[in-house]
Amino acid sequence: MDPYRYRPSSAFNTPFLTNNQGGPVYNNTSSLTIGNRGPVLLEDYHLVEKIANFHRERIPERIVHARGASAKGYFEVTHDITHLTCADFLRGVGVQTPLIVRFSTVIHEKGSPETIPDPRGFAVKFYTREGNFDMVGNNIPVFFVRDAMQFPDVIHALKPNPKSNIQEFWRIMDYLSYIPESTHMFMWWFDDWGIPSDYRHMEGFAVHTFKLINRDGKETYVKWHWKPTCGLKFLLEDEAAAVAGQNHSHATKDLYDTIASGSFPEWRLYVQTMNPADEDKLDFDPLDTTKIWPEDLFPLQPVGRMVLNKNIDNFFNENEQLAFSPGVVPPGIYYSNDKMLQCRIFAYGDTQRHRLGPNYLLLPVNAPKCAHHNNHHEGAMNFTHRDEEVNYWPSRFNAVRVSEKFPISKSHVSGIREKTVIAKENNFQQPGERYRSWDPDRQERFIGRMAKALSDPRLTHEIRSIWLSYMSQSDKSLGQKLAARLNMKAAM
């Protein structure tokens, strides 16, 4: 066979999905896990290939979170939670830890306006005495999908049309019509919540479920929440248009000017905790990123405060080269079997090594501030001064030793290898509860935004009907009102 005659071309596309090697793909929505909940297996070749290819689609701008602003400050413990975790930076009330924060928009390019309806990134890097801790999250506590296998697809759908370079809602509503769990995300994204007035007036959520581990090895599920002391503020569409017309970098300027004036933004950190033994008692999966934990069942518990009191010195060095990963955790904090989290542990480091290079952790903004040592060396752009003769371990010529043992997760895992969805989907209860919590005017604004998105002329009647079904299953009156706006019959 002449390899040049059959060069890759969409003209030779098969009607079936394959991997890059041409092998058939029988499941493109679920990661390979042990049992139906995880953990995710690295041997899932298709998942790793799909994610790794996705990371390398843009050079050098971030694929997501390209537009961002950073600031530096400190975290101070205000409440003792040493019964929950042995993490050193939480060792006692009054302990302070330096940090840097990056706020961002998610979908649009680096120069895009900061007034676009879009989730906002909220990522915090703690420089602890036991290495860095990256708390990577958003201003919305849920996500569109619950399995990382779908992540490249949802971002592709949200990004501009590759032919026209225009973000088009027919693409978004088409893809997400296959993802009923995305209904909950729309209740935040298309709510007034969708456009924060600036970065100072928005909450932050780590989204994923992690584990806290104390000195006795006891494990507790945890979700992290940041709440601004200055309150929440949002922009409606006409207000956002007016702000964008004056300054498309208004949120960056607001953050910079506020800190420069000596009025330092502050957030309070809270946790929700759950006994892992209780996770099966709920009517939803608590590790599902499309779900929140109801605060009446899992109340917020105060932990500390974050103060941003210093602007960055150089935007490129401390914003563009600033890199996070939810896989970066100190002793006392560990991962749950959250399917999205399990993949992101690999994914974030992989994309940063592509974007910034294999030695991106040597860059000052990413390097730990505690003493550290390993035998990783050489590689592109390695500027570490080394004069050791021994670059392996163990060695009788080098006194380096491993650290004292610290508690790690010991949860038992059993099950068969399988690609499947979690058992408790429960896709519409929480979206309906959120919709019913709004006042009538806020409900009407949400309906208007959904109706506008579903009025895209390229959307089919089938797709609109699916969305009417999702909205009706969330709340019957919502489905009826949306159907009236679209001149359609409400789904039952």
Q: Is 152 helix (H, G, I), strand (E, B) or coil?
A: helix
Count the Cβ atoms, other than its own, within 10 Å of residue 230. 13
Indicate the helix (H) or strand (E) that contains 418.
strand 417-419
Closest CA to 322 of 355, 370, 346: 355
For this structure, is 65 an active site residue? yes
Closest CA to 204 of 189, 226, 223, 230: 226
Residue with tokens 């992540």: 151
3-state helix, strand, coil in the chain (%, to 5): 30, 20, 50
Given the residues 46, 55, 65, 250, the one annotated as active site: 65
Our CA angle for 9, 11, 15, nearest 5°, is: 105
Given the residues 46, 132, 138, 337, the one annotated as active site: 138
Residue with tokens 């840097």: 100
Exposed e or buried b for every residue in 314-333, given b needs 16+ CB within 10 A?
eeeebbbbbbbbbbbbbbbb
Distance CA 261, CA 354 (A): 38
Phi, psi of 345 (to 5 degrees): -55, -40
Our CA angle for 445, 450, 455, nearest 5°, is: 125
The CA distances from residue 258 to 92, 255, 262, in Å, are 30, 5, 7
Distance CA 162, CA 375 (A): 43
Q: Is 215 helix (H, G, I), strand (E, B) or coil?
A: coil
Distance of CA 363 to the CA centre of its chain: 23
Closest CA to 64 of 121, 102, 117: 121
What number of CA atoms fall less than 13 Å from residue 309's CA on the CB side? 8
Closest CA to 366 of 307, 317, 327, 314: 317
Do 100 and 70 touch, CB atoms closer than 8 A? yes
R_g over Cα of the chain: 23
For this structure, is 138 an active site residue? yes
Q: Which two tokens stand for residue 417?
A: 């290898």
Active centre residues (catalytic): 65, 138
